[in-house]
Every structure is written in C-alpha cells, then in structure tokens.
Amino acid sequence: MPKEQTIIYFDNAATSWPKPPEVSKAMAHYLDEVGANPGRSGHRMAVESARIVYAAREAVAELFNAPDPLRVVFGANVTEALNLALRGYLRPGDHVITSSMEHNSVMRPLRTLEWAGVELTVVPCSPEGFLNPGEVEAAIRSNTKMIALNHASNVVGSLLPVAEVGRLARQHNLLLVVDAAQTGGAYPIDMQVDQIDLLAFTGHKSLYGPMGTGGLIIGERVDVDRLEPLTRGGTGSRSEREEQPDFLPDKFESGTPNGVGLAGLAAGLRWILAQGIAAIRAHEVALTQQLIDGLRAIPGVTVYGGLEASRQTATVSFNLAGLEPSEVGLRLDDEYALMCRVGLHCAPAAHKTMGTFPAGTIRFGLGAFSMVEEVKAALEAVYQLATVPQSVGVAL
C-alpha cells in the first residue's frame, strides 16, 4: 500500500475506530495516576479507582435510562453479558423465542441450552432482515419465559421492533433480552419506554470505549435470585463469607474489574452524551443512505437489507457479481486502503435468512467519525472493482 494513501476505516460494526481523544486520555490517567484495585482497599488510590468504575455505571445508566446504576453489571463484552442473561436464567423445560437474524453470541448459548432441555423457537425474519412482532406473539407458549433479540443485525443493520416486542413481553409476563451490540450509542434506547428487562451492551463499538468492556443491565422485573452468575469468587465485599454475595452488582462481578478499560468506557459514554444520540444518528443515517444509493447505482453490485437508512444502523452489506467477498475485501485493503469485513460475520443464521450463505457478504460499517468524502472514495473503489480494468471511474 503506498504511504500516501489515507486509510478509510469502514469496519465500525466490528469495533469503532478512531475513538474520541478523551478515551485514551482517561485510560492513560488511570494507568499513570490511579492504578489501584477498585473496592479492594481503603486507601485514596483504591477509592479513586472505585469512583471511576462507579462513574462508568452512572454513565451507562444515564444513556440507556436504566433503573439504577447498581443494576449495571460489567463484564468483558456483550457475549459474556448475553451468556449471563440466557444461561443464567433459563432452565430445562423453559421455552425461549429468538429471531433468525441473530449473531452467534445469542445462537450458540441458545443451541447449547437447547441440548440441555430448553425449548427454542426461531422466528423467521424477512430476507431484508425485518421481524413481524405478530409472529413472535404467535410463538408464545405456556412455558415461554423469555424473548431474546438483537436490536439491529450486525450483517445488514436492519432494526428489529424491540419496543413492540417489549409490549408483547409485558402483556404475557415474559422477559425481553436485547442484544444492543450494534445500537448502543448509535440509536436511541430507553429501557423504560422500550420495556427491556435485560440489556446486553459492548463498550468497543458505538460506545467508543476500548475492547474488553461491556455488560448487562438488569431490569427491576428480573428475579435476581433466579439469575445465576457465570463465575464466583472475590468481590471485595462480604470477604468474611465463603458464599457468593446475593446483591447487585457484586453477585455477578467476581474478580478484579477492567478498571482502565472502564475509565475509557466512561469517557466514551460522556462523549456520546455530549454529542447527543440524535445528532450521531442523523449523521449516520445521511451517510448510510448515500452509501446505499451509490452502491445500488454500480453495475453488478447487489445490496442487501431494506435499503432505507432510517430502518437500519450504519451497516451495509453487498456483493459484486463474479467476485468472492474475500477477494473484494483483500483488494479494497491492498489497492484502496479501505478496511472492511467480509464473510459470515459470526451470524450464519442471518445469512441463511438473507440467502447469502455460505459465501457471506462484503460489509461496510460506518460510524460517528465517518465522512462524506470517505463514502465517495469507497464508492469509487467499488466501482473500479466492479467494472472492467480500463474503466476511468465514475462521478459520485
């Protein structure tokens, strides 16, 4: 790759980059000036470390309108959070409903629980990735305990009707688990209004924090006594007892937390709150529609999903006729310094729904720092790959 080429980073659906500068500053401050173990000692450095972790809880609770910061349970990522929600709550004989657009972070725990005696219904979505709430309601049984859905597909960005399903869940006294990996920080989420009982989030995508951060927000309707922790061990609390604490968040937070990561996450969350979700969303919708329309105008390009930016996140999947996704991804990197993801994106169920299994797709994931000029350059790159080598390009 020539040195003069500027990187176009369109892999934000995998992890966001760049981060706001406040994130690295907060992490450096933690490492250089705080550094102690939160909740494990009473000296000033440990107290400051615990304050930083609690500030992250407060910021998460504010962004998602969670009932109480102490009901924000931190972990390594959204996958761990989803495992806690699913494996910690469901028992053999229970029935759970999910969709055909789920990431493996939902499907693999559910398939494992199915082998152990939990009944599973996968409600089919449309090939564009949309879900009919009526079909979810039709799948409810007498032993149904939970509905588990992603808020938006990580493959095509299609938004699922979480609020509508939340109302159904309340009407039938079920819990709603939402995988907000793709929407947290990029789309408005209100746990109270949307009637979400368990919200799993990750820090390193649209929350603009570092990898190794995420968690589960536990709503007030959840029976915490029934929800079993994935791990047990030291919490810094009730150290005189050998039994796991039964109160939040300690019941689900064994071991030393990722203090430096949570310092960065708190900074990312404060940046989002300062920008405003509405402004971030408007920016991404405009760029996403520009990208969709531009790709559809290129001969030989098939764009997947609903093709309306207002109905999805800033994630766009497409393919080029006659070219494998892997080849396109490699050439975009080597020839155009454009970073994207290709393949199945850890979501085989979604690709089967879309009709793109097993080859997968080329996925562009935009973010808050993406620019109009980058979208134009990306469209020109795709045009060059999709047309004859002698092409001189197209005005976009």
Q: What is the pLDDT of residues 139-155, one digit of tens each?
A: 999 999 999 999 999 99
**pLDDT confidence tier of residue 389, bands split at 50, 70 and 90:** low
Of 237, 252, 275, which one is at a domain's C-terminal end?
A: 275
Whether residues 263 and 305 share a domain: the answer is no
Query: Which of 164, 155, 31 is closest to 103 using CA atoms?
Result: 155
Of 275, 304, 338, which one is at a domain's C-terminal end?
A: 275
pLDDT surpasses 90 at 4: no
Dihedral over Cα of 329, 364, 307, 160: its sign: positive
Of 241, 275, 309, which one is at a domain's C-terminal end?
A: 275
- The percent of residues in the chain predicted with pLDDT above 70, rounded, is 97
Question: What pLDDT, on a 0 to 100 scale, did the predictor assign at position 1?
Answer: 39
Whether residues 192 and 315 share a domain: the answer is no
Whether residues 225 and 251 share a domain: the answer is yes
Calculate mean pLDDT across residues 262-278.
98
Tokens describing residue 6: 């500027």
Residue 204, domain extent: 21-275
Calculate mean pLDDT across residues 276-297.
98
pLDDT surpasses 90 at 286: yes
Contacts of the segment 301-304: beta carbons below 8 A, 24+ positions apart: 301/382, 301/386, 304/128, 304/129, 304/155, 304/156, 304/354, 304/356, 304/361
In whole angstroms, how far apart are CA 138 and each of 30, 126, 349, 372? Answer: 50, 16, 21, 43
Whether residues 142 and 175 share a domain: the answer is yes
Q: In this predicted model, what pLDDT tens digit does every residue of 6-17 receive, in sequence order?
A: 999 999 999 999
Question: What pLDDT, on a 0 to 100 scale, did the predictor assign at position 394?
Answer: 46
Region at 260 (left for phi over 0; alpha for psi -120 to 50; beta for the rest): alpha
Confirm whether 373 is domain-assigned: yes
Confirm whether 393 is domain-assigned: no
Whichever domain contains 306, its CATH number is: 3.90.1150.10
Q: In this predicted model, what pLDDT tens digit does every residue of 55-107 receive, in sequence order?
A: 999 999 999 999 899 999 999 999 999 999 999 999 999 999 999 999 999 99
Question: What pLDDT, on a 0 to 100 scale, did the predictor assign at position 153?
Answer: 98
Query: Which of 54, 36, 42 is closest to 239 using CA atoms?
Result: 42
- CA 344 to CA 360: how far, in whole Å? 5
Confirm whether 396 is domain-assigned: no
- CB atoms under 10 Å from CB of 114, counted, come to 14
List, in sequence order, every residue forming a beta bridge with 159; answer none if it has no partner: 152
Whether residues 94 and 176 share a domain: the answer is yes
List, in sequence order, every residue forming a beta bridge with 363; answer none if it has no partner: 317, 341
Calculate mean pLDDT across residues 229-256.
92
Q: Are 237 and 96 in contact (CB under 8 A)?
A: no
Calculate mean pLDDT across residues 262-266.
98
Question: What pLDDT, on a 0 to 100 scale, did the predictor assign at position 39?
Answer: 83
Average per-residue pLDDT for the chain? 95
Question: What pLDDT, on a 0 to 100 scale, did the predictor assign at position 390?
Answer: 41
- CA 245 to CA 264: how far, in whole Å? 27
pLDDT surpasses 90 at 249: yes
